[in-house]
Amino acid sequence: MKCERNDLAVIILAAGLGTRMKSDRAKVLHEIIGRPMIWYVIETAKKVASNSIVVVIGHQAEKVREVISRSADVKYALQEKQLGTGHAVLCAMRYISEKIKKIVILCGDVPLLSSDTIYHLIENHDKFNCDLSILGVEMENPKGYGRILFAEEQQVSGIVEEADATDEQKKINKVNTGIYCVNKIFLEESVKKIKTNNAQEEFYLTDIIKIGHEAGKDIRILIMNDPEEFIGINTSEDLKRVEEIMMRRPM
């Protein structure tokens, strides 16, 4: 499916400070083998939708914009306050053009993700003609990730974040990678309905799953095998681990 489609856009969430990195630098500017983390995600996004990429920036916005503009032509959505991933997507929606029907959402802190995996997600989304497809993975240590709540096989009813999970839910080892393919109309409608009634008082993008499930939408998960590809960098230990994996990888 490697041909580019003109009804597809990519939104990259990259506005956060990354409090858990314990650094003043915006998280996506931290370097992996001499390149800022965001560079890897942008290169992957370019292979999927080179003409329709929207990057949500906020923390050190000007610096992030400058770094990205050296290698890519994208649109920037400014999220002045980092109110959560759901709010970040809301900020991006106005930069999505009329002709777009499907949106792939990526996180700026998941740099090992490959474009082949995204193609696979889009293919699966098209095959089932669903409203939302989530990329999931089984992790031996799921700590820190949103846990998948299943309605039935491949059908998802919700995602519960670590901070909100019960002890029982914390045992679930199928996690959300933070990567989605979603129909634009459903995304537009559902992000507006997200509330902040959770432990972190944030607008969680993951709430669109429960919102959609309750409205009878078709929400599916595609479970991938290789947990390494989906490591989200939240701490300096994660950064080190990703750099080690990247060095082993054939480029």
| Enzyme catalytic residues | 20
Among 21, 161, 190, 229, binds ligand UD1 (CB under 6 A): 161
Among 109, 113, 165, 213, binds ligand UD1 (CB under 6 A): 109
Closest CA to 184 of 150, 200, 208: 208
Identify the bridge partners of residue 222 per DSSP, sorted by sequence position.
135
Rounded to a whole number of angstroms, the minimum distance from the CB of residue 160 to ligand UD1 is 9
Among 122, 232, 239, 242, binds Ca ion (CB under 5 A): 232
108 forms part of the interface with ligand UD1 (CB under 6 A): yes
Q: Identify residues 103-142 at the interface with Ca ion (CB under 5 A).
A: 109
Closest CA to 49 of 87, 91, 105, 93: 105
C-alpha dihedral over 55, 59, 60, 65, to 10 degrees? 0
84 forms part of the interface with ligand UD1 (CB under 6 A): yes
Place of tokens 């400014």: 78
| Contact indicator for 192, 223 with CB cutoff of 8 Å | no
161 forms part of the interface with Ca ion (CB under 5 A): no
207 forms part of the interface with Ca ion (CB under 5 A): no
| Contact indicator for 112, 245 with CB cutoff of 8 Å | yes
Q: Which residues bind ligand UD1 (CB under 6 A)?
A: 13-16, 27, 56, 79, 82-85, 87-88, 107-110, 145-146, 159, 161, 175-178, 204-206, 232, 234
